[in-house]
Structure 1
Amino acid sequence: MELELRHLKTIRAIAEAGSLTRAAAALGLAQPALSTQLKRIERALGGPLFERDRTGARPTLLGELVLERARVLLPAVRELQEEAVRFANGQGRVARHRLGGTHGPLLGALVDGLAGAHPAASVSTYVSWSVREIADLVVAGRLDFALVGACGQSAPPAADQLVWRTVGVDPVFVMLPEDHRLAGNRELALGKLAEECWTDVPGEGCFAECFETACARAGFMPRSVFETDVSSCVHLVRVGRAVGLCRASFPPTPGVVTRPIAGAPLSWRHLIGWHPEAPAARGAAAVVELARAAHAEAVRRSDSYREWLADRGRAAGAAALLPFGTAT
C-alpha cells in the first residue's frame, strides 16, 4: 500500500483526538474500520505509530516523525488546492458540469435535468462508493459538484472546505420480494424480520453501525448482510435470498416492494456540495433546485413513500412531514 494524503489526515485525527474511539466519531467511521485502516498504514510505514491502552492513544517516536511531516504537508497541499481553484476561477466560467456521485438514481435524474436546462454545456459523471473520494475531487477542482448521501445527521466529508445543501431526507425502507409473507403489510416492525438475511450497497460512514443498533433495539442482530451493487441487491431480494435496505425514494422495481420500518429508526440525507471559490459556485443555486426537483419526482413515483408521508400527515399534521421528503 502506498501512503496517501488521506492516511496522513487519519493519523493527524487520531493524534488530535487522543483515542481511536473519538477519532472514529470525528471521521464518521466505525471504530473497527479505523483500527483496521491504522494497521494498514502502520504496515506501510514499518512500525506502530501509536501506543494504545485504556487511557487512549499516544504517538510513538515513529508516530511523532510522521506527524511532524504531516503538519507541513497537509496545509501545503490544501493551500495548493485552494490556489488551483482560484486560478481556475479566474479563467472564466466553463460551459460544463462535472458531477460526482454514489450509485443511485438521483445522479441520472440530475444529469437529465442539467442536459435539458443547458443543452450546449457538457455534462460528465464520476461514480464511486467513497463519498470522501468524491468530496476530495471537488476540493481539488477535478469535479464541480458532489451528489452524495449521509446517514442520519452525520456530517458530510470536507465540511470545512465545501458548501453543502440538503436535497431531501428519506426514511430507510425495507425491500421485499412481492410474494414475501409480509409484503402486504403497510408498515413493518423491524423485529418481524429477525430471521432474514439482509442486503445493502457498500459505503462509508455510520450506516452499518446505525442499522445494527436499530436491530439490537428490536431484539436481534442481523444473521448476515450482503454488501453488493444495486442490481445484485435487487436480484437477491427478488429471488428471496435476502431482504434489502433502501431509501424510501428508491424507484419502483418489478418483483420487489418497499415497505416502511415502524418508527423510522433510520434515515438518509441526500446532499449536494461544491467548492465556494470554484466557477461552478455561480450556478450552484440552480443545480441545487434541479437536484431537489429530481428528488421530488422520485418521491412522487414511489407509492409506498407517498402513502407513508400521507399517514404521517394524518397522524400529526403537516409538520410531521419534516424532515422527511423536505429540503432544508
Structure 2
Amino acid sequence: MRHLRALCAIADTGSVRKAARQLGVTQPSLTTQLGRIERAIGGQLFTRERTGSRPTPLGRSVLCRARPIVAEMTALVTEAKDSVMLAGGARFRIGSTGNRAVAGWLRRLHARLPDTDITIRIDVSPNTLLQMVAANQLDVAFVHEVAGCPLHIPDGVRQRVLVQREPQFVALPATHPAAAKEQVALTDLAGERWMVDPSVDGEWAGLRRVFAAEGLNPRVVHGDYLTGADLVAAGEVVSPCQPTSRPRPGMAIRPLLGDPLTVRLLLASREVASPEAETNLDAVFADLEGSYREAAWTSAAYRQWLMFHDSPLLRSHAA
C-alpha cells in the first residue's frame, strides 16, 4: 500500500518533490522508493521533465489498478476509525497552522477526552495539512485561508467555518510614530521594510494584493515570523500578525485601517460515516470555538476591535 500511495501522490501532484511533502517524507527517499518500484515492475512509470513528472503508458496502466485499491483501503481505514473516533482509548490526530487558540484547544480536548491519545502537527502550510487530512494522516486540521488566495480543498475533505473574516493586524516597533494611533493606515508604513514569510500559503500573495490596491511598493524582507518578531522589537521591520498576537517588549500591535488584509479560519475533516462521529466532530469544533474566544478576549487590541465592530464573536464569552 505504501508503494501504491506513493505512485498516486506523484501522479496527483505532478512532482516527486510535491508528493514527498504531501506524504511527509524527503524527496531523496521518495526518489529511491520510486526507483525500487520501477525495478520491481520492470519499466519506467514516470518521465522526468522540467515541468514535473508525467506517467508513462506503463505508469498509467499501473495507476488504473492502483487507484481503486488505495481508495478501498482508505475507505476501510476511515470507516474503522470513525467507529471508534474519540472513544475511550482512541487516538486523535490534530493539525494546525500557528494560532494562539491551539493551546486552549488542546487543554479542552484533554479535559474532555482524558483516555484519548491526542497528537498535534504544526505546519505553516494550510494546504499541506489539508492533504494530510485527505490522506488520513490527520483527523482534523485548523487552518487559515488568506482572502483572495483560496486553499486547495482535496476531495473528501469538508470545512467548518470558525471565523468568516478575521482581520490581520500589524506588529510595529513601539517607538514608531504610528504606534500612538488606535488604527494604522498602510500609508503610515509605506517607507518601512515588511517582514513576510513566503512559505505560508497565500501570505505574500495576499499582502502583495493589498499593497497594489493602495498603490504601494514597500521594501520586503522574507523570513520566518519568529525571527520577524525580534526584528520588529529591534525597530528593523514591521510585520503582519494575527489579531490574537501578544506584543513583546519593544513591540506594538495595531489594527490596520479598513481591515485590508483578512483571513478565513476553518476546521477541516474528512467526511464521516456515522451520527456518533458527527456528534464528536461537533464537540471538537465547540472546543476550538471556545478556545478562540478565550484567545480573542485576552488580546487587548483584538478585544477592542471586536467591541468597536459589535462582533457577535465574544458575546457568549462576555455573558
Q: TM-score range by the shorter chain?
A: 0.7 to 0.9
Conservation of the 8 A alpha-carbon contact between 1:81 and 1:141: yes
Matched ranges for 1:166-181 at <5 A: 166-168=161-163, 169-181=165-177
Conservation of the 8 A alpha-carbon contact between 1:48 and 1:63: no
- Partner of residue 185, structure 1: 181
What is the root-mean-square deviation in Å for CA atoms of aligned residues? 3.2
Matched ranges for 1:97-136 at <5 A: 97-136=92-131
**Structure-1 separation of matches of 2:99 and 2:157:** 21
Q: Which amino acid aligns with 2:120?
A: T
- Partner of residue 49, structure 2: 47
Q: Aligned to 2:266, which of 263, 271, 281?
A: 271
Segments of structure 2 that go 5 or more residues without pairing to the other structure are 1-5, 16-45
Cα deviation, residue 117, structure 1: 2.2
- Partner of residue 21, structure 1: none
Matched ranges for 1:1-328 at <5 A: 5-11=8-14, 45-48=47-50, 65=57, 68=60, 72=64, 73-74=66-67, 76-90=69-83, 93=87, 94-152=89-147, 154-168=149-163, 169-228=165-224, 230-277=225-272, 281-313=278-310, 321=311
- Could you report, residue by residue, the CA deviation over 1:60-104 in whole angstroms, capped at 9, with x for unpaired residues? xx6775994696355653443223212333467453322111223
**Structure-2 separation of matches of 1:96 and 1:242:** 42
User: Residues 113 and 122 of structure 1: is their aligned pair in 2 closer, same or farther, counting only changes over 3 Å?
Assistant: same
Q: Which amino acid aligns with 2:11?
A: L
Q: Which amino acid aligns with 1:212?
A: R
- Could you report, residue by residue, the CA deviation over 1:261-312 in whole angstroms, capped at 9, with x for unpaired residues? 1111111122111122378544110110111111111111122122223333
Out of 232-241 and 117-126, give the one that drifted further: 117-126
User: Residues 190 and 248 of structure 1: is their aligned pair in 2 closer, same or farther, counting only changes over 3 Å?
Assistant: same
Percent identity of paired positions between Structure 1 and Structure 2: 24
Segments of structure 1 that go 5 or more residues without pairing to the other structure are 13-43, 51-58, 314-320
TM-score scaled by length of structure 1: 0.72
Conservation of the 8 A alpha-carbon contact between 1:249 and 1:299: yes
Conservation of the 8 A alpha-carbon contact between 1:101 and 1:147: yes
- Partner of residue 317, structure 1: none
Cα deviation, residue 255, structure 1: 2.8
TM-score scaled by length of structure 2: 0.74
Q: Which amino acid aligns with 2:201?
A: G
Q: Which amino acid aligns with 1:8?
A: A
User: Residues 110 and 202 of structure 1: is their aligned pair in 2 closer, same or farther, counting only changes over 3 Å?
Assistant: farther
**Structure-2 separation of matches of 1:192 and 1:70:** 58
**Structure-2 separation of matches of 1:69 and 1:132:** 29
Out of 160-169 and 286-295, give the one that drifted further: 160-169
